[in-house]
């Protein structure tokens, strides 16, 4: 479980080592950790190197006490156009293909488990592995020109980075089967109506930043605990899930952020949360 003191409260100057990335950039802006995948010549397609860098940047975000919301986006006209087809075509047997799928699943599981809210800023094509990356984020915003889909069956394969599992959990089995069986590309407005994205705007990154700014007004420990409660409880029966919620509610009430939040409400002023 996330320890509020361990994640946000830094008692001494903190120097974070950020590795050099070849295929992505990482920057922190107003408590937003912004990850931009930069392989535009391949429409940001995911090969093994990109996946390993996404795993590394996830570790950076986990350790960075300045980051309270993480945003993932892509450079150019694609968010991520999918897994690298050349690499998939080179998979020689069942075992190699399975290992590639497990790599993608593991990386996206790390992103899903980040202790801060995560937003996919879908600036263009989010297909195959790209949509699976977006599905691993907590929230998704799309530009009006975005196209989303899982077209793998047209290549004679199936989604392998979590798409067959996360998509039906998000939009329902029937709608997910429609998208997977047809392999069609869904425009942003239809994605919004399906519940596949949360918001649509002219500029995906700016829309994501606006959403993040609203989230950042709230207590960072409370956000982390709310995310943990939903994640741990979603596959349990209701009573077990409610017990987890009660435990985490108790932890939230033991924080200085709770004292500040309730005091600020009673004093009719904005709260100044410190993540403690």
Active-site residues, by number, are 132, 152
Spatial neighbors of 153 by CB under 8 A, at least 6 apart, are: 180, 181, 183
Burial label for 152, CB within 10 Å (0-12, 13-18, 19+), is buried
Nearest to 150 by CA among 139, 141, 171, 138: 171
Q: Which residues in 86-110 are b (16+ Cβ under 10 Å) and which e?
A: eebeeeeeeeeeeebbebbbebbeb
Q: Which residues in 235-245 are b (16+ Cβ under 10 Å) and which e?
A: eeeeeebeebb
Nearest to 115 by CA among 146, 70, 157: 70
């Amino acid at each position: 479980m996330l320890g509020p003191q361990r994640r946000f409260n830094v008692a001494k100057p903190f120097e974070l080592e950020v590795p050099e990335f070849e295929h992505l950039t990482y920057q922190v802006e107003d408590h937003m950790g912004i990850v931009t995948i930069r392989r535009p010549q391949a429409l940001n397609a995911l090969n093994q190197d990109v996946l390993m860098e996404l795993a590394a940047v996830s570790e950076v975000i986990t350790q960075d006490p300045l980051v309270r919301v993480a945003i993932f986006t892509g450079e150019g006209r694609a968010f991520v156009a999918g897994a690298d087809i050349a690499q998939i075509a080179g998979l020689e047997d069942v075992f190699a293909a399975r290992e590639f799928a497990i790599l993608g699943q593991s990386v996206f599981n790390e992103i899903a488990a980040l202790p801060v809210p995560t937003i996919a800023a879908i600036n263009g094509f989010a297909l195959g592995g790209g949509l699976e990356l977006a599905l691993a984020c907590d929230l998704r915003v799309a530009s009006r020109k975005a196209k989303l889909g899982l077209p793998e069956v047209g290549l004679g394969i199936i989604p392998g980075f979590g798409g067959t599992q996360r998509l039906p959990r998000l939009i329902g089995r029937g709608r997910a089967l429609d998208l997977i069986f047809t392999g069609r590309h869904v425009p942003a407005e239809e994605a919004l109506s399906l519940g596949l994205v949360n918001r649509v705007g002219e500029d995906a990154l700016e829309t994501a930043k606006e959403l993040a700014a609203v989230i950042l007004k709230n207590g960072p420990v409370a956000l982390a605990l709310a995310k943990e409660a939903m994640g741990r409880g979603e596959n349990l029966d209701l009573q077990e899930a409610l017990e987890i919620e009660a435990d985490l509610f108790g932890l939230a009430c033991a924080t200085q952020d709770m004292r500040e939040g309730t005091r600020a409400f009673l004093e009719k002023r904005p709260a100044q949360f410190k993540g403690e």
